Structure 1
Amino acid sequence: MPPTVSVIVPTHNSAKTLGACLAAVHRLRHPVTEVIVVDDASTDDTRAVARRFPCRLLVTDRNAGPAAARNRGIRAATGDLLFFLDSDCAPEPDALGNALAVLREQPDVACVHGIYALEPLFDDGPVEAYRLTHGHHWRLRHVGRVRTTLFAICLIRREVFDTVGLFDEKLRASEDVEIGDRMGDRYGIVLTDTVVCRHDDDSRLGSLLAKQFRRSQMLIPVALAERGPAGIRANSAAGLLTAAAVPATLPTAPLTGGWPVLSLLFLVLFTVAEPALLRFVLRRRGLPFTLFFFAVHLLVQLAVVGGAVVGGIRHLTDRDFGPSRATAAKTSR
């Protein structure tokens, strides 16, 4: 008998996108056994949207984050395979079938996840175009066997959770990276460009920078807790370092006649720090958008660096800040 598939959609205040997500689920060419929507205490019309579709709706009383929502979906699901979708993602009709094909062709693989399309779910302007361009590129760069799981669109064998446990509900960011590290060498993980979804991404610069700052606070605690080699990274070390050097060298301007020579030099180095990214943006979006792209990208990298520094300090000073296994290790010492 072919394996049964449960679709799990964690959601919070996603009335704008959930309808498109669930409509796309019902256009999948491969049949699914059930669709489970886990509403994480939404305050908008998310539940009303979900009730328009043939799905099982689970509702939580308080907002507990995506890890807790996914865990509730896992406990409720009956399928042999679990197909996770973020509620702002709409899978292409062949996405599930292509993920199943990877599992059939590579029996040691237990987890298959995919990439964002360049085209948005809803076109909300240039900031969103920046996000999708960057997200599409860094995922493409890592296609193949990986050690990281990204659950925006992901098919995984149920048995994995019986072995490594569920998502760490302490984490509201990097929870998928952390569980992927726990999978370690036990299970094969594949990132493929044959499993594609259209994504509704951040479209306002201020909220994007705030989110990046908040989420990046878990980067160092999760990285320190990793037991295997580093997994997928959306941003390169060279890009982050040269971005940080741009404002850091501004105080040297009086030494060069009032001109921020060093800052300008590091700005150029930042732009070319990832040559493949520069070529990709130029080729797909053109020169005017490329200039806009790297201006926004600089601000995003600074938010990531700032968040990582703050998160590292919090991890050192607060024994409860970080993944459960990391804080447990600190407590035992």
Structure 2
Amino acid sequence: MPPTVSVVVPTHNSSKTLAACLAAIHRQRHPVTEVIVVDDASTDDTREIARRFPCRLLVTDRNVGPAAARNRGIQASSGDLIFFLDSDCAPEPDALGNALAILRDQPDVACVHGIYSLEPLIDDGPVEAYRLLHGHYWRLRNVGRVRTTLFAICLIRREVFTSVGLFDEKLRASEDVEIGDRMGDRYGIVLTDTMVCRHDDDDRLGALLHKQFRRSQMLIPVARAERGPAGIRANTRAGLLTATLVPATLPTALLTGGWPVLSLLFLVLFTVAEPALLRFVLRQRGPAFTAFFIGVHLLVQLAVVSGALVGGVRHLLDRDFGPTRASLAAKTSR
């Protein structure tokens, strides 16, 4: 008998994309056993949209975050395999079948996750195009055996949760990275470019920067809790460092007659810090968009660094700020 597959879709205020997500699930060439939508206290008509589709709808009475929503879906599901999908993602028809083939052909693999398409789910302009280009690039760069799990589109064996536990509900960001580290060397993890979804990403610069700042606050606490080698990183150290030095060296203009020579130098170094990314964007969208991409990318890197620094300080002052296991370890060592 082929394995049964439960689909779990955590969602919050996803009226814009949920119908496309659920329609794409039902277009999968490999049939699914059940679809469970976990509505995390939406205030729009998300629940009404879910009820139009053959799925089981679970509703939280307060907003608990994606980790807790996924946990509720896991506990309510019955499949041998769980296909996680974010509600702003629409998988290509062969996505599930391709992931199943990897699990079948590589018995030591317990988790397969995929990449974003360059084609948006809904085209909302240049900021979203930036996000999709970068998101597609860094996932494609890491295709193969990895130590990190990314649950936007992911197929995983149920036994993993029995063994390592559920998602850490304290985390509203990096919860997938944290559970991937707990999987460690016990379970194989594959990032594949054969499991593809179209994604509706951030399309407003302010909202994007705020999200990056908020989410990156968990980077240092989660990294300090990691027991194995660092997993997938969307941003390189060279890019983060040179981006930070662009504004950091602006005061030196007072010593050079008003010309921010060092800042301009670090801007050039930032531009070429990831030559493969630069070539990729040029090839995909041309020089004009590449200039726009570099400007937005600089701001995003600064938001990530700022958030990481704030999160690091918060973690030092309050060890409860971060993964549960890090908090327990800190209390045990006292």
Same fold (TM over 0.5): yes
Structure 1 CA distance for aligned equivalents of residues 241 and 313 of structure 2: 18
Which portions of structure 1, spanning 4 or more consecutive aligned residues, are displaced by more than 3 angstroms? none
Task: Name the structure 1 match of 2:116.
Answer: 116
1:30 aligns with 2:33: no
1:156 aligns with 2:156: yes
Deviation digits for residues 60-99 of structure 1 (CA, Å, limit 9, x no counterpart): 0000000000000000000000000000000000000000
Task: Name the structure 2 match of 1:89.
Answer: 89
Structure 1 CA distance for aligned equivalents of residues 33 and 208 of structure 2: 36
Deviation digits for residues 176-209 of structure 1 (CA, Å, limit 9, x no counterpart): 0000000000000000000000000000000000
Task: Name the structure 2 match of 1:239.
Answer: 239
Q: RMSD value over aligned CA atoms?
A: 0.4
- Describe the SS at the equivalent of 2:316: helix
Deviation digits for residues 115-151 of structure 1 (CA, Å, limit 9, x no counterpart): 0000000000000000000000000000000000000
Task: Name the structure 2 match of 1:167.
Answer: 167
- For structure 1, the 5+ residue unaligned runs are none
Structure 1 CA distance for aligned equivalents of residues 233 and 259 of structure 2: 34
Aligned counterparts, 1:1-333, within 5 A: 1-332=1-332, 333=334
What's the % identity of the aligned pairs? 86
Structure 1 CA distance for aligned equivalents of residues 284 and 16 of structure 2: 28
Structure 2 CA distance for aligned equivalents of residues 275 and 101 of structure 1: 34
Q: CA deviation at 1:166?
A: 0.1
Structure 1 CA distance for aligned equivalents of residues 81 and 194 of structure 2: 18
Structure 2 CA distance for aligned equivalents of residues 133 and 296 of structure 1: 12
Structure 2 CA distance for aligned equivalents of residues 277 and 60 of structure 1: 40
2:203 counterpart letter in structure 1: S
Structure 1 CA distance for aligned equivalents of residues 238 and 168 of structure 2: 30
- Describe the SS at the equivalent of 2:38: strand
- Describe the SS at the equivalent of 1:191: strand
The aligned length equals 333
- For structure 2, the 5+ residue unaligned runs are none
Structure 2 CA distance for aligned equivalents of residues 327 and 107 of structure 1: 34
Structure 2 CA distance for aligned equivalents of residues 167 and 297 of structure 1: 30
Structure 2 CA distance for aligned equivalents of residues 280 and 224 of structure 1: 32
Q: CA deviation at 1:159?
A: 0.2
TM-score by length of 1: 1.00
Deviation digits for residues 215-264 of structure 1 (CA, Å, limit 9, x no counterpart): 00000000000000000000000000000000000000011111000000
Structure 2 CA distance for aligned equivalents of residues 243 and 260 of structure 1: 15
Q: CA deviation at 1:319?
A: 2.0
- Describe the SS at the equivalent of 1:173: coil
Structure 1 CA distance for aligned equivalents of residues 282 and 127 of structure 2: 16
- Describe the SS at the equivalent of 2:17: helix
Structure 1 CA distance for aligned equivalents of residues 254 and 61 of structure 2: 57
Structure 2 CA distance for aligned equivalents of residues 111 and 290 of structure 1: 34
Structure 2 CA distance for aligned equivalents of residues 2 and 119 of structure 1: 32
TM-score by length of 2: 0.99
- Describe the SS at the equivalent of 1:15: coil
Q: CA deviation at 1:155?
A: 0.2
- Describe the SS at the equivalent of 2:79: coil
- Describe the SS at the equivalent of 1:190: strand
- Describe the SS at the equivalent of 2:112: strand
Structure 1 CA distance for aligned equivalents of residues 285 and 111 of structure 2: 32
Structure 2 CA distance for aligned equivalents of residues 24 and 3 of structure 1: 20
- Describe the SS at the equivalent of 2:28: coil
